[in-house]
Every structure is written in structure tokens, then in C-alpha cells.
Amino acid sequence: MFDLIEIKDVEKVYRRDSIEAPVLSGINLMVKDGEFLALMGPSGSGKTTLLNMIAGIDKPTSGQIVVGGTDISKMSESALAKWRSSNIGFIFQFYNLIPVLTAYENVELPLLLTKLSKSERKQHVESALNIVGLSDRMKYYPKQLSGGQEQKVAIARAIVTDPVILIADEPTGDLDKNSAEEIMTLMQRLNTEFKKTIVMVTHDAHTASKARVLRRLEKGDLLPAEAEAA
């Protein structure tokens, strides 16, 4: 398997007025195609910042991030937006569904940016909702769904464009134990069955154990690789 994500000497420093706050220093990380990586670390360790940079929603202060052969650290905002729409699927802690749209419409959102016809979009949306097991909840609004179901809709939204990478930021952080288990099983299925490369941030060791590779961050440094988590 080739290295899908290559992070080379990445540093990130946040600046506010004259104060500089280094968040990440000298990060080097390779993520293979089809890998399921969990990033763990205490608050402020820089794990979400690293995740955001891999996803192309933040840029390193120095260093290089190459995804699928493309150096995304030098891309413009508009080019990044286009790149994200076809390469990245996002799964957030608080689901972040649009409350005025049904489950179907929420999943359809990323497809509005494509040239697919209405019937093609329908096919994609139904297929994504079928994968997450919510075919019977298409017309439900987010407030009519449980937390676990909302996160499943969010996962369907993340996979509907068939992206190469899934980015998950604390995907079970707002769920009860059973729902969290279901979501992690689903994510493992997406990794093994649908060959999605997943990069997940979590502070929960049990959730992290579902990934195949675990890396820890501490005070902006990436600690040496540990044994495979699962």
C-alpha cells in the first residue's frame, strides 16, 4: 500500500497580536491508503489542528502536506474547497446537520456541488443512507432522530461523494455507549469493506482501540508509533 497522506516537517504556530503559540512542531507522518488511524492526546496537544490540516481546512506555518500526490499546503482557498468536496468526507462530534433539511436533503448537500442529475443524486443518497442503515428515515428531520441516527446521517453525508479519506473529529464524543459502539462498527466497516482511509481524533481509548493504527500527540509532538490498536 502506498502512502496516501504524507506529512513532512509540519509546524503550526498560532499568532494573535504579538503573541505566538506553537501548536505543532516538526511533525512527520505517513498514512497509508486504506489505513484507519486514530490520533490521541490530551487537550491542547494539537491533534485537531493536525486533523484540520490533513483535511485542508487549515494550513501549516511551515512544512508540507501531500495527499494523494497533491501538495495541499500550497493550494488557494477556492482550490482547497473544490479539492475537499471530492476527496474528503467529514464526520464531526456534534454531527452538524442542517436542521431545516431532512436526512435525505442533508446527505444530498455535497452532491449539489457536482454535475450529477437529480436521479443520479437520488441513487447516491439512497445508497449512502442504505449503507448506514437509515433507508427508512430519509424524510426525517434531525430533531426527529436520535444522536446515533444523526451521526449516521452525518456519516452518510461524508461518504455520499465517495471520498478517498474520511476525517472524523471525536465521532463518538456526544453519544451514549451503545450508539458509540454502532458508529465505530460502521466506521470499521467503511474501512474494511469500502476501503476508506480514515483519520480519527479521539480522547477515548476504547474508541481509539477500534482503529488499526494509533498515534499519540503530546504538547505538539508526535510520539513514536505504537503497536496496531485493533
Partner 1 sequence: MKVLKLIIKNTFRHKLRTFLTILGIGVAVMAFGLLRTVVTAFDSGVQSSSADRLVTRDAVTFINPLPLSYLNQMKQVPGVKQITYMNWFGGTYIDQSHFFARYAVDPNTFFSVYPEYEIGRKTLSEFESQPNTCIVGSGLAQRYNFKVGDVITIDGDIYPGTWEFQVAGIYKPEFKSTDAMSMFLNWNYLNEEVKQTFPARADEVGWYVERIGAGANPGEVSRNIDALFANSPAETKTESERQFQQGFLASAGAIISAMDYMSFVIVGIIMLVLANTMIMSARERTREYAVLKAIGFSGRHLIGMIFGESLLVSLLGGVLGIFLTYPVVNSFASFASFLGTQLSVQSITLITASAAVVIVGIAAAVFPIQRAMNTRIADGIRFVG
Among 2, 20, 74, 82, binds partner 1 (CB under 8 A): 82
Q: Which of 9, 77, 176, 226 binds partner 1 (CB under 8 A)?
A: 77
CA distances from 134 to 127, 150, 164, 187, 228 (A): 10, 10, 22, 15, 31
- Secondary structure class of 173 (helix, strand, coil): coil
Using DSSP bridges, classify how beta strands 213-218 and 36-40 pair: parallel, antiparallel or unpaired. Answer: parallel
Interaction pattern, residues 142-181, with partner 1; x per rule: CB under 8 A: ---------------x-----------x------------
Residue 164 phi/psi, 5-degree rounding, is -75, -40
Q: How far is CA 36 from the centre of its chain?
A: 11
Residue 198: name the closest of 51, 74, 64 by CA. Answer: 51
The site map against partner 1 for 198-217 (x = CB under 8 A) is: --------------------
Q: Does the protein bind partner 1 through residue 224 (CB under 8 A)?
A: no
| Residues 160 and 125: beta-carbon distance below 8 Å | yes
Query: If DSSP codes are grouped into helix, strand and coil, which group holds residue 222?
Result: strand
- DSSP classification of residue 60: -
* Between 160 and 183, CB nearer to partner 1: 160
Task: Give min distance, CB of 25 to partner 1, in A.
Answer: 19
In the bound state with partner 1, the residue whose beta carbon lies nearer, of 112 and 225, is 112
Q: Residues 110, 142, 171, 220: which binds partner 1 (CB under 8 A)?
A: 110
61 touching partner 1, by CB under 8 A: no
21 touching partner 1, by CB under 8 A? no
Q: Is the dihedral of CA 111, 117, 121, 127 positive or negative?
A: negative
Please pick, from the candidates 105, 181, 204, 221, the single residue that binds partner 1 as defined by CB under 8 A.
Answer: 105
Give contact residues for partner 1 (rule: CB under 8 A): 48-49, 52, 55, 57-58, 77-78, 81-82, 84-86, 90, 92, 96, 98-101, 105, 108-110, 112-113, 157, 169
